[in-house]
Chains A and B, each alone.
Chain A
Amino acid sequence: MSKYAFETKNVKKYYNGDKVKALDGVTLKAEHGKVLALLGPNGAGKTTIVRMLSTLLAPTSGTVKVMGMDVVAEAHDVREIIGLAGQYAAVDEFLTGRENIQMSGRLYHLPKAEVKKRTETILARLNLTEAADRQVKTYSGGMRRRLDLGASLVGNPKILFLDEPTTGLDPRTRQELWHIIQDLVDEGTTVLLTTQYMDEADELADHIAVIDRGKLIAEGTSDELKTHLGGDVVEFALDKESDVKEALKAVAKLSKQKPTVDEDGLTITVPVKNGSKGLLNVVEELNKVKISPASLSLHRPSLDDVFLALTGKKAVSAVKPEEKKKGRK
């Protein structure tokens, strides 16, 4: 068996000569039976990596291997052992749920009886048995995602590529999918997961690679990434926006990394070296400029904080109601 489940070596993808660098030299290694999360904002290059690993896209340079096989030269063999579930539920609206999974199974060239057996198992596992005979156009967004995942499972893939599997789903449906993914991993499947959600990476991933603008900017376990940020985080909220500027100035000298202001314009985050001392320092500095915070807390940095510190962008941390789309129609 190959040393890694899949790996990329200094892989690049350029468009228009070298004007657009979708990927600019990314090296990744995934261990067998583990979950690797690719974390990054929209347009970071996550989907490009997934498309290369799933043989849909050839790199401009560098190598991409799955189970030791080159995704360009040995594309057909790679396809035998992978499963892909994309950002958009790629299921046929006019077929029933059962027919969709069976079609996928027939295209993996499994014997008919085997296709039938596996389809029923998958439907039960994904809690779709009841809806199995309904046309997919009647399915909800969450059901489509589950079915899409199901269609990629029928070939018993050793490696599963999930491109933002829970984007746009409500929290309960996300949890459901997480459980299913976790079960698959427990059974030995290697998973590559791309996500914009910190909590998703935190929940599922053994190893996290943060990418931004086509480059790998950090990797490690969730804990390693948090430690990398150094120490703890003091977070405080103000009552008036007019105080924000002064407060930022006051606490700026307390840490090497710049304090950041949250989207609400009132919450300030300060990375500090040593927890309680840092907290006291913040209080002291705020006192000096006569600002009293509305709330104040000290916590271990979340992946959100790590992401913010690394990319300067706030990660998506929750699903807003207006984002609940039913996949792409």
Chain B
Amino acid sequence: MATSVIKRAYFQVNDTVVITKRNLFRYIRLPQLVVFSSIQPIMFLVLFNFVFGGAIGASSGVPGGKYINFLLPGILAQTMMFGGLQTGIGLAEDMGKGIIDRFRSLPMSRGAVMAGRTFSDLIRNVTVAGIMLTVGTILGFRFQNGFINAVGMVLILLFFAFSISWIAAFMGLSVGDAETAQIAGFLMIFPLTFASAAFVPIATMPGWLQVFARNQPVTHVVLAARELAIGIPSGGAIWKSIVWTIGILAVFIPLAIHRYRSSAK
């Protein structure tokens, strides 16, 4: 019994590694995909910084009115969430090509296809974070709260994006079509990121929107990231965002696995 548990755990790891590698190959073999998918967030970062910086900088509550310090944690959260969406798009694409059918006919471990997909998108998000932080630094962003907290910020964002990956996995397998998966993902992420503390202080929003904005996960994650990056107290956002992330994973990992196993209609 004990050996079979070890064996199964080994297979789970083996299968997940095989699928993760397979997904990453796509980015290695298609470097232009990486280049172009990095341009969009960089463009956002530059545009937001120079367009909104003047108007919001002073009211952002950031020491010295440096909007870039306020913006970067927020835009990094949004970019990584979009990175998480790739999971759903990739799975829907594989489904359309019959690759999911092939995997399902193999004696693979449960969940390895999705775990491999979410891990490869996590790894890709690490790259994206590196690029964004580099460009941010060029634009004047500086961590204000020490190295450990800086690492903590990146980790909390990666962890949250990882949970978004699992929501996307569930959605992608449900719609079964890459384009629909992408649109569905955008519809989820745009309201969540714009009606949050990511780009502007919540206090500037109308009252009804403030209620939503203050209580949704992206705000907690962004406030947590900001506390870790530049030391603005968030009133417990770090713990709240960790709880949200674990909660999303607890709900969507089983849902996605269930959907995968019954993906044949």
Contacts and interface: CB of A to CB of B under 8 A. Distances in A.
Interface stretch (B60-68, B103-111, B144-152): B103-111
A151 B102 contact: yes
A106 B99 contact: no
Interface of B is mostly: helix
Given A95-B22, A95-B25, A107-B18, A84 B97 contact: no
B30 interface: yes
B14 A109 contact: yes
Among B29, B101, B108, B264, residue most surrounded by chain A Cβ atoms (within 10 Å):
B101
A73 interface: no
A106 B98 contact: no
Contacts of A86: 98, 101-102
A51 B106 CA distance: 13
Interface in A72-108: 76, 79-80, 82-84, 86-92, 94-95, 99, 103-104, 106-108
Interface stretch (A54-62, A175-183, A266-274): A54-62
Interface string B230-262: 000000000000000000000000000000000
A104 B102 CA distance: 9
A213 to B, nearest CB: 19
B98 A90 contact: yes
A64 to B, nearest CB: 14
A328 interface: yes
A135 interface: yes
Interface string B75-116: 000000000000000000000011101111111100000000
Among B14, B25, B101, B105, residue most surrounded by chain A Cβ atoms (within 10 Å):
B105
B257 to A, nearest CB: 14
Interface in B1-37: 11, 14-15, 18, 22, 25-26, 29-30
A136 to B, nearest CB: 11
Contact of A80 (B25, B102, B107): B107
A76 B109 CA distance: 9
Contacts of B107: 76, 79-80, 107-109, 155
A88 B98 contact: yes
A56 B106 contact: no
A107 B98 contact: no
Contact of B18 (A91, A94, A103): A103
Contact of A108 (B25, B106, B264): B106
Contacts of A151: 102
B264 A94 contact: no
Nearest to A104: B106
A107 B99 CA distance: 13
Contacts of B98: 86-90, 328
A103 B29 CA distance: 17
A56 B26 contact: no
Given A99-B25, A107-B15, A94 B30 contact: yes
Contacts of B102: 84, 86, 90, 104, 151-152
A106 B18 CA distance: 7
Contacts of B97: 88, 90, 328
A54 B105 contact: yes
A109 B9 CA distance: 12
Nearest to A91: B99
Among B30, B97, B264, residue most surrounded by chain A Cβ atoms (within 10 Å):
B97
A107 B26 contact: no
A79 B264 contact: no
Contacts of A108: 106-107
Contacts of B99: 90-92
Interface in A95-147: 95, 99, 103-104, 106-109, 135
A293 to B, nearest CB: 47
Among B18, B22, B102, B265, residue most surrounded by chain A Cβ atoms (within 10 Å):
B102
Among A15, A91, A107, A152, residue most surrounded by chain B Cβ atoms (within 10 Å):
A107
A55 B101 contact: no
Contacts of A84: 101-102, 105
Interface string B30-72: 1000000000000000000000000000000000000000000
30 contacts: A15-B265, A51-B101, A54-B105, A55-B105, A56-B264, A79-B106, A79-B107, A80-B107, A86-B101, A86-B102, A87-B98, A90-B98, A90-B99, A90-B102, A92-B25, A92-B99, A94-B25, A94-B30, A95-B22, A95-B25, A106-B14, A106-B18, A107-B15, A107-B103, A107-B108, A108-B106, A108-B107, A109-B11, A109-B107, A328-B98
Closest 4 CB pairs of A and B: A90-B98, A90-B102, A79-B107, A84-B105
Given A57-B264, A90-B101, 18 more contacts: A15-B265, A51-B101, A54-B105, A55-B104, A56-B104, A90-B98, A90-B99, A90-B102, A94-B25, A95-B25, A99-B25, A104-B102, A106-B14, A107-B15, A108-B106, A152-B102, A328-B97, A328-B98
